[in-house]
Structure 1
Amino acid sequence: MSLKIQIDAQIKAAMLAREQARLMALRDIKKFILLEETKEGKTGELTSDEEMKLLAKAAKQRKDSADIYRQQNRPDLLDKELAELLVIEEFLPKQLSEEDLKAKIQEMIARVGASAPSDMGKVMGIASKELAGLADGKAISMMVKALLA
């Protein structure tokens, strides 16, 4: 079942349950999907990989906004962003734990033969592709940097 169909079903359920925060988050996801599908040069259907990238982008936007609202002491807006983030994360694959992330990156470092911080680019190129959607880019970068130091 495509993400768009899942979102439509969830929107109907949220409307019936009168869950406004969830409904707004789902409508935002649907908006992102429709914008991506109607972009110039697109066929009108998204692949599952494109859908996951879209959701990851939306989740990152919510996290960044939440950090800003936390710094500015705006709990009203912070709560809204965090609620939307929880809804988005329901559709994303489960994120890797710190231990799993460390193990995968150590395996990649061994495969590439990296040994110094100057090799970070080699490892990041592979890690960002293989771990896309499974871990945050910032977390990957920090782990690679720590392991190569």
Structure 2
Amino acid sequence: MIRDAIKSAQIEAMKAGDKDRLAAVRLILAKIKDRDIELRTASSTPDDDAVVVDVLQKMVKQRRESISMYEQGGRTELAAREQAELDVIETFLPRQLSEEETKAAIEAIKAETGAESVKDMGKVMAVLKERHGTVIDMSKASGLVKAALG
């Protein structure tokens, strides 16, 4: 489980005295705990790894946006710190599908659902997220689905 890997990484970082990695791992664990608290009131509890991956993907997206804003503002030291956090977060994410693999999955879903035009994009995206949501960057997949249906 990803959650266990993150907890063991926290212990390793403490033993190694790697303060930057430890801070990033603690941040990840805090975000996961926040999500756990949110899900207490939910009627159905999703798979644990899916929850953790969702949290990590959101953190990655936030870091990438922050890095671009810091670089535009000339704050390279802050961009470097965000990049260091991003590198730690990405070590816990499962391997993402390549663009070719993503296109193949889209084509399979498109054939399966009978999608032919952009009007069917929501249907294809829903199936894609259900099956491959943890290993695909859905923002990039959106553009690929649109291109495949256009």
Tell me the CA shift for residue 107 of structure 1. 0.7
CA RMSD across the alignment: 2.1
Query: Is 2:99 the partner of 1:104?
Result: no
* Partner Cα distance (2:3, 2:115) in 1: 41
The answer to whether structure 1 residue 139 and structure 2 residue 148 are counterparts is: no
Larger CA deviation: 104-113 vs 2-11: 2-11
Task: Give the stretch that moved more between structures: 129-138 or 10-19.
Answer: 10-19
Whether 2:125 is the aligned partner of 1:124: answer yes
What residue identity is the alignment partner of 1:148?
L
Give the conservation status (yes or no) of the 8 Å contact 2:3–2:49: no
Which sections of structure 2, spanning at least 5 residues, go unmatched?
none
Runs of 4+ in structure 1 off by over 4 angstroms are none
Counterparts of 1:4 and 1:102, CA distance in 2:
30
Partner of residue 80, structure 1: 81
For residue 107 of structure 2, what is the amino acid of its counterpart?
Answer: Q
Distance 2:142 2:65 in 1: 17
Deviations 1:14-55 (A, max 9, x none): 123232221111010111122223347359xx8222222222
Question: 1:15 is aligned with what amino acid?
Answer: M
Contact 1:128 1:140 in 2 (8 A): no
Structure 1: state its 5+ residue gaps. none
User: Which range moved further: 3-12 or 48-57?
Assistant: 3-12
Offset from partner CA, 1:65-115 (integer Å, 9 cap, x none): 222223323211111111111111111110000110011101111111111
CA contact (8 A) 2:50 2:134 kept: no
Mean CA deviation greater in 88-97 or 67-76: 67-76
Aligned length: 146
Alpha-carbon deviation of 1:4? Answer: 4.1
C-alpha distance in 1 between matches for 2:132 and 2:30: 26
User: How much identity, in percent, do the aligned residues show?
Assistant: 36
The alpha-carbon deviation at position 118 of structure 1 amounts to: 2.1
The amino acid of 1:18's aligned partner reads G
Q: What SS does the aligned partner of 2:92 have?
A: coil
Separation in 2, partners of 1:131, 1:40: 22
Question: 2: distance between equivalents of 1:52 and 1:106?
Answer: 24
